[in-house]
Structure 1
Amino acid sequence: MLTWDLPSLSCSFRKLLIAVCLIVISFTASLVMAQQLPPVDATTLDGKVMCGYQAWFRCPDDGTNSAWQHWSRRPTITPQSMTFQMWPDLSEFTPSEMYAVPGIKYPNGRPAYLYSSVHQKTIQRHFQWMQQYGIDGVFVQRFLVNLRQPSFDTILEHVRTSAKDTGRTFAVCYDLSGYPTERIVGRLTDDWKQLCDERKVTRDERYLDHDGLPVVFIWGLYPDRFSADIAHQLIDFFHQEGPYRATVVGGVPPDWRSESNASWASAFGKLDVISPWNVGNIERRGGKKIANTHVWQQDFAAAQQAGAKYLPVIYPGFDWTNLKGPRAERDTIDRRGGAFFWEQFVAAKKLGSGMAYVAMFDEVDEATAIFKVTNDPPPEANFATYEGLPSDWYLRLTGEGTKMIRGETPLADRIPIQP
C-alpha cells in the first residue's frame, strides 16, 4: 500500500497535495449537501429561477443522424464551419458522452471533444449540476421546426427522469421561430395534446405547475412575425376548460407595452405570465454595456394591471461572431467577470417579482451559457471563455442569485462570493 510521509515531501508538493485534498473534500461536501436538499416545490412559479434549456446539440454517432447539428454550419466540422462561441468543459464527462472532433486538439495537444444533448448521461449530469448549485430547473425547448425529429422526444424523457432523480422541476417551452405561420396553431396544439394524453408529461410530479395548472411557455409572440389572431388562438386553447388547460407564459418583445395594434395588445393582456425577451437589450453607462433593466418597473406594473405575473429575463453576456461573422463583433456584450449578470439579479430582487428566467443554461452558440465552459478551448478557432474564472462560476452565481431573489440571503449590490 502506498503511504505518504508528509514531512519528507518538498514544501511545494505538500502544498499541492493539501490543495488537492481540500478540493476533493469541498466537492464531496457540496454533493452531500445537494443530496440532502429537499426537492424543488413544483407547484408554483413563485420564488423560482428557471433556466432555458436548448438541448439542440448533436454529434455523429449519437444515434440521431444529425451530424454536427448546432456545432457546425455543415455536416462536417472544421474551424471555419464552427458556429458556437464557447467550448463546453467536458472534464467530468465519461468517454461514452464525448465525441471526438476530427483534426481539432486542445492546447495541450490532446484530441478535442464535444457532447450530444440527446445522451442520457449528459442530461443527467446537467441536472446534477443544477441540484448541486441550487438551480430550480429548466424550461426545456420544443422548437416547432424540429418536432419531427424523434430526438426531442427522447430529450424530454431524459429531462423527466433527471428532474425526478435530482428533485428539480421542468416545463415545456414552445419556440415558434421559423415555423410556417399558417401551421403554428395546429402543430403546437397537436403536440401538447399528445404530451398530455399519451405521454402524461403534465402529470409528472416534477412538472412545474402554477395556480393549480401545468405551465406552458410560448416563446416568440412577436407582432412582426404573424397576425394577432394566431396569438389569440394559442392563448385561448390553453385557457379553455378541459384536460389541456394551462398557465401560459408568453415570451414577448421588449417593447410589448407600446404595441399599437389593439388586437396584439389584447393578446398580451390575456397572458398569465409576461416575459419580455431582454437578451441584447442594453444601455451604455460609463463606457460599459449594461443590461436594460430600467424598464422592468413599468413592465411589472403593466403586467400586474393586466392580472399577470412578470418574469424578467436575465442573461450573463452575449457573443455570436462565430455564428454570424466578424461584423457581429459589435454585438458582443462583455460579462465583466459576472458583474453584468449579477446586476440583473439585483434589479430583479429590487423589482419584487419573485421570479426570473435565466437565458440560457446551455446556449454556447450565442455565448449566453451558464454551465461549465473551458478556459482552454482549441486554438484553431476564436472562442470566448470565462477569462480564467472557474468553469462553474456562473452556476454558482445563478445559485446565489436564486437565494437572493427568494429572500434566503440579503440583497447584495455586488457579487457576494469569491471565485
Structure 2
Amino acid sequence: MIRLTILTMGVLLMGTAAFAQIIAAQATAQEMTMDNKVFVGYQGWAMPLRQEDGAKWVHYGWRGQFKPGFSTVEMWPDTTDLNADEKVPTDFRHKDGSVAYVPDAQNPKTVNRHFSWMKQYGIDGAFLQRFVNPASNPRERPSIDRVLQNVRAASKANGVAWGMMYDLSGVKAEDIFPKVSTDWKYLVGELKIRDDAHYIHHRNKPVVVLWGVGFNDNRPAPSAYLSLIQFLKNDPVYGGNTVILGVPFYWRTQTRDTTTDPSLFEVLKAADVIAPWPVGRYGTPEDALRIGQTERAPDVAWTTANHLDYLPGAFPGFSWSNLMKTRDKTSPFNQIPRLGGRFLWSQAVSAKRAGAKMLYIAMFDEIDEGTAIFKVSNDPPEGETPFVTYDGLPADHYMWLAGQIGKMMRGEIPATDEMPKR
C-alpha cells in the first residue's frame, strides 16, 4: 500500500505552481520575524588605511602604528582563506619569521567572505554597527558608508539577513534626535536600505536598533530618546519600523549598570523589543546558567506582560588587555575564558530555558575586545603583544557553535548543559 506524504498530496491536489506559491509565502513570513533565529553583531571597522583621509591602522593599532607593543586588538584574524588582494602586510612576524597579514574591512571581497561564512554555518543575520558620531562626521562617513554598501552586497549575494544597529555611545542628549533622524532619512530615502530583499524584519516591519539606552555611565537620561523612538515608529515616511533598544543587563531592577532614572520604563514601553547587553556581566558557564533564572526569566515575564519581545545577548569570552594598555590601564589577559565554547553555549541554553525565542551574539568580528566568533588564528605573531587564540580548536569552531545555537533556539536539538560535539 502506497502512503502519500502531506507534501506529495499537497502537490497533487493543488498543482505544482499553486503549492510553490504557498511555500514561497511561508518563506516570506519567516523572513518577517526574528523568532527562532540567531544573529551576530558586525563591526566592519578594522582598516589598515582609511581611504579618504589616510588614517592608518584604524581599529588595529595605536597612534598610527601597528607593530609589537602598538596594538588595540586582542585576537589575530585567520587569513588562510583570503586571496592575495585581501591580505595587508604588517610589521608583525610569525614564529617562523614570516610576515603576518590582516584583512581590510573596506574590501568587498572580504565582507562577502564573512557573509558566506554566516550562510555556511547557519547564522541567520548580522546587525551592522553604525556609530552615530562618526557617521555624522564628513571625514569618517565615506568609509563607514563603504562598509555599509559592502554589507548590503554581501547580504544579497549570500541570502543572509542584515539590519542597522545605531550605537549611541558619546552622543549628547541634544544631538540624539537630529543626528539619528537625519542619518535614517539618508539611509531610507537615498540609499533605500529597507528595500533590500534580506533586510531584517520583526513583527512584519523593518528593524532598527538603538543601542546604549539607560546605562549609568553618564549617558543622557532615557527620556532623551523618546522622540526618536516615536519618529522611527510613527513618521509617515521614515517610520513603520520595529524598534529594538539595546539596554543595560540589569535594566529591569535598575541596579549595577543601569540608571535609576524613573523615566526608563516609559521609554522601554515605547519600543518593541528589549535587548540587554551581557558582555562582562558574568564570567563562567555556571554564572550564565544562574542568571537565566535570576535575570532572564523575569525579563521575559516583564516584556511579555508589557507586550514587548526579548532579545537576549551572549558573548564567547572577553579580553582587552592590549586596548587598555594604550589607555595607560591594565586588564587581565584572557579575562573571561571561552572554555572551548562552553561559556557561549551555556548562555544560549540559559536564554532558551528562560523563554527567549531569539538570540544576539556579540560579536562576529570584534577582535578589539576578544569577542569575535569568525576565523581567528591559532598561530598569531610572536613578540611583545600577546593574542588570544582558539586554543587549538578549528578556526571556524565558534561559527559552527553559533549554528548549533540556532538549531537549539529552533528546537531542532535540545538545550542541554553539555555542549554539542562536532
- The two structures have a TM-score, normalised by structure 1, of 0.86
1:332 aligned partner: 335
Q: 1:64 to 1:117 in 2, by over 3 A?
A: farther
Contact preservation (8 Å) 1:289, 1:334: no
Q: In structure 2, what is the equivalent of residue 354 of structure 1?
A: 357
- Aligned with residue 91 of structure 1, among 80, 87, 112: 80
Structure 1 residue 51 displacement after superposition = 0.2
CA displacement at 1:177 relative to structure 2: 0.7
Which ranges of structure 1 fall in alignment gaps of 5 or more residues?
A: 1-37
* Per-residue deviation, 1:360: 0.3
The question of 1:301 aligning with 2:281 is answered no
- Number of the residue aligned with 1:28: none
Match runs of 1:102-141 below 5 Å: 102=91, 104-141=92-129
Percentage identity across aligned positions?
39
- 2:252 matched to 1:252? no
Cα drift, residue 412 of structure 1: 2.9
Which of 412, 417, 420 is residue 413 of structure 1 equivalent to? 417
1:236 aligned partner, one-letter code:
Q
Task: Give, in angstroms, the shift of residue 47 of structure 1.
Answer: 1.4
TM-score normalised by structure 2 residue count: 0.85
Query: 1:70 offset after TM fit, Å?
Result: 0.6
Supply the AA of the counterpart residue of 1:204.
D
Contact 2:289 2:350 in 1 (8 A): no
| 1:393–1:162 distance in 2 versus 1, CA, 3 Å | same
Match of residue 231 from structure 1 = 225
SS of match in other structure, 2:76: coil
Instruction: State the alpha-carbon separation in 2 of the partners of residues 375 and 216 from structure 1.
Output: 36
Amino acid at match of 1:74: R
2:228 aligned with 1:240, yes or no? no
Q: Which residue of 1 aligns with 2:394?
A: 390
1:363-389, Cα deviation, whole Å (9 max, x unpaired)? 011000000000110011211100111
Distance 2:175 2:71 in 1: 32
Give runs of aligned pairs for residues 3-402 of structure 1, distance below 5 A. Answer: 41-60=30-49, 65-102=54-91, 104-147=92-135, 148=137, 149=140, 150-224=142-216, 225-245=219-239, 246-259=241-254, 260-282=260-282, 292-294=291-293, 295-325=295-325, 327-329=330-332, 332-380=335-383, 381-402=385-406
Of residues 357-366 and 221-230 in structure 1, the stretch that sits farther from structure 2 once superposed is 221-230
Aligned-pair distance for 1:330? 7.5
Gaps of 5+ in 2: 1-26, 255-259
Aligned-residue offset at 1:390: 0.6
In the TM superposition, residue 179 of structure 1 has moved relative to its aligned partner by 2.5
Q: Tell me how far 1:227 sits from its aligned partner.
A: 1.9
CA–CA distance in 1 between the matches of 2:288 and 2:233? 40
Aligned length: 379
Distance in 2 of aligned mates of 1:139 and 1:366:
18
Measured in 2, the distance between the counterparts of 1:275 and 1:213 equals: 17
Asked if the contact 2:201–2:207 (Cα under 8 Å) also holds between the matched residues in 1, the reply is yes
The separation in 2 between residues aligned to 1:163 and 1:101, in whole angstroms, is 29
Report if the CA contact (8 A) 1:173-1:217 is conserved.
Answer: yes
Partners of 1:208 and 1:114 in 2: how far apart? 30
- Structure 1 Cα separation of the partners of residues 264 and 415 of structure 2: 37
Partner SS state of residue 214, structure 1: strand
Q: Name the amino acid aligned to 1:157.
A: Q
- 1:389 and 1:406 map into 2 onto residues whose CA distance is 26
Residues 297-338 of structure 1 show CA distances to partners (whole Å, capped at 9, x for unaligned) of: 011111111211000001101001111137311881011111
